[in-house]
Amino acid sequence: MTASIPEQLLSWYDRNARDLPWRAPPGSAVPDDPAWPYRVWLSEVMLQQTTVAAVKPYFAKFLSIWPTVEALAAASDDDVMAAWAGLGYYSRARNLVKCARVVAARGGFPSTEAELRALPGLGDYTAAAIAAIAFGERAVVVDANVERVVARLFAIEEPLPKARKAIRAAADTITPAARGGDFAQAMMDLGSHVCTSKAPRCLLCPLAEVCAGRKQGEPERLPVKPPKKQVPERRGTAFWITRGGGAEVWLVTRPADGMLGGMRALPDDGWTARQDGAGPPPVAGEGRSLGAVRHGFTHASLTLEVVALDAAGDPPGEGQWWPTARLGEAGLATLFAKAAALAQAAVD
């Protein structure tokens, strides 16, 4: 069974590969370009838990501003965080800068999976993907899409997350020595467009004839997932503090090691550290509720009330007055961009 899988899959990929700005054409040699590993690394970091459609404009923006890893390494943390705003999972942006500086200091990206894994922000999957795609190494690349394909292909019944060891071992048996990058991307494409979570398109699958899950008649059942945990509900308050008749709004930079770390934001009541906020407002005065926004995190759902306050002077602590007309340039995290949009609409 396993001997024919790489050939069948690569043949399918040669005909059906997606045209993506961070990919080389299928079957081509690894590009002889010093910037190639940078492009692959940047795309893989951005694609973690994020869709291709969402990543494309950010990838293009980053390359236009910082075309090389050396340019990114020289960038300020604030500029990178602002450019990343809206893409989510902001620890990736912080690690991006850390990694760029390490790579620039050593004179380029390492080419082995083990060395790549030692870089800031690179786990097993990302290190394997870069080794395979950027350097043509044989590496076992397993993301959520590949995990699903392999679990069905081999009918692995053990529930996740315990099944991951067996899935990786099975993926190792079908990973070829040649065309490592193409094989990894073919498995990803197969999982994202054919072997989908719901209603898999088995009639279009190049591996349908050798898929044990399909032969059992219920491929959609695999991989077996544990019951979903209920996501807790949290509440908090953000403060819309203005001066000059609303011409400027007070922004803060969140602590680097906390949630949404390093991002510009509206000041809040400390909801990230407390179950339901309850911290005092940053300035004295009678606040006026402008409404609330909802936002989902991986660990909780948040209802954030937005309260307007007028400032007689600068609020205590570090922050800056930002022109409300240019708030789109501040690089607010998505949650606070929602809150700012609500506030601007309410006071207009």
Catalytic residues: 44
On whether the CB atoms of residues 239 and 266 are closer than 8 A, the answer is yes
Distances in Å between the Cα of 165 and the Cα atoms of 114, 141, 162, 188 are 18, 13, 7, 19
On whether the CB atoms of residues 287 and 307 are closer than 8 A, the answer is yes
Closest CA to 344 of 275, 242, 254, 251: 242
Closest CA to 338 of 273, 278, 288, 266: 266
Instruction: Give me 118's structure tokens.
Output: 């030692």
Give the helix ranges, DSSP H, for 108-202: 113-117, 124-135, 144-153, 164-174, 180-193
Rg of the chain taking only CA atoms, in angstroms: 24
